[in-house]
Amino acid sequence: MKILVTNDDGIYSPGLLCLARVASKLGEVRIVAPDVEQSSMGHAVTSGRPLKYRPLARESFEAYRVDGTPADCVALGSFHWEHMDVVLSGINLGLNLGNAIWHSGTVSAARQASLLGIQGIAVSAPGDPEEPDYDALASHVETALRNVIGDPALPLVNINLPLRPNGLRWTRQSVRHYDGRVVPGKDPRGRPHYWFTVRPIEETEEDTDRWAVENGWVSITPLRLDITDESLLANATATHPLD
Ligand code: MN
């Protein structure tokens, strides 16, 4: 199995190396990752300028750095490696739960794989204030991956791990609350500025991704590319037939 490993934290991230080491137990690994951090870049692609794809040693792994986004890395990685089987994205230094999926570069890299017909799996863990003990987390990452990797019924999967997991849960995306928040402040010269950040969300619904991680479970959420609201569409075609 050919496994491309990427992320949005950049090619020097400790989470990326942990995921590559786990992946090397499951198949042949190649790393293609952004040369600088690209967190919260979502599914942006670089179309206004050409991209570089340059080799860079990361332990014993064949690795390349790209001066672009996570989605760019997957596009270039699949271009340079024919018949790639799966893209793993992460381990992100920070959870990607609920509405964070929309902003996440980590999830978007996995989604880019899925758009190209390749299975995409995003893997995230808490990054702040405490970073995971990656050696301890690795076996949980491996267990989660073995449950989904190579399964054609799961083209796009979002995995989130708590720092000390109890086990695995299948979950749905929690979307009831939005955690984005704009915080005003002043720069050192007294000029106003604004920081887009997240606020904590509690009391999340059972069986959601956020609920699972808060309760110590590894959350595995199957995602879809087609986000059409089927029930609204059925209702619309029934009640508002177009001429
Ligand atoms: Mn990140």
pLDDT tens digits along 7-61: 999 999 999 999 999 999 999 999 999 999 999 999 999 999 999 999 998 999 9
Under 8 Å between Cβ of 32 and 79 = no
Ligand 1 center from residue 138 Cα (angstroms): 18
Q: What is the pLDDT of residue 219?
A: 98
**Are 89 and 6 spatial neighbours (Cβ–Cβ below 8 Å)?**
yes
Span from the CA of 234 to the centroid of ligand 1 (angstroms): 37
This prediction has a pTM of: 0.95
Outline where the chain has alpha helix (H).
Answer: 14-23, 70-80, 100-103, 105-115, 134-148, 209-214, 230-239
Q: How many whole angstroms from 238 Cα to the centroid of ligand 1?
A: 43
Tell me the CA–centroid distance for residue 93 and ligand 1, in Å.
5
Q: How far is the CA of 127 from the centre of ligand 1 (A)?
A: 9
Residue 145 has pLDDT above 90, yes or no: yes
Ligand 1 mean position, distance from CA 242 (Å)? 44
Q: Do residues 85 and 2 lie in contact, with contact meaning Cβ atoms separated by under 8 Å?
A: yes
Is the pLDDT reported for residue 183 higher than 90? yes
| Residues near 79 by beta carbon (within 8 Å), at least 6 away in sequence | none
Phi/psi at 229 (5° precision): -85, 105
CATH of domain 2-174+203-239: 3.40.1210.10
- pLDDT computed for residue 17 by the predictor: 97
Mean pLDDT across the chain? 96
Q: What tokens were used for 99?
A: 């509405």
CB count in 10 Å sphere of residue 130: 8
Q: Provide the pLDDT confidence category of residue 98 given band limits of 50, 70 and 90.
A: very high
- How remote is the CA of residue 82 from the centroid of ligand 1, in Å? 27
Report the alpha-carbon distance of residue 105 to residue 187 in Å, rounded. 27
Å from CA of 196 to ligand 1 middle? 15
Output the pLDDT for position 241: 86
**Average pLDDT of the residues in 121-145:** 94
- Kindly list the domain boundaries of the chain, sorted by start residue: 2-174+203-239
Evaluate whether 156 touches 222 at the Cβ level (below 8 Å): yes
Contacts of 208 (CB under 8 A, 6+ apart): 97, 98, 171, 172, 173, 174
Could you tell me the distance, in angstroms and rounded to a whole number, from the CA of residue 239 to the centre of ligand 1? 43
- Find the 125 Cα to ligand 1 centroid distance in Å: 10
Q: Which two tokens stand for residue 218?
A: 């590894």
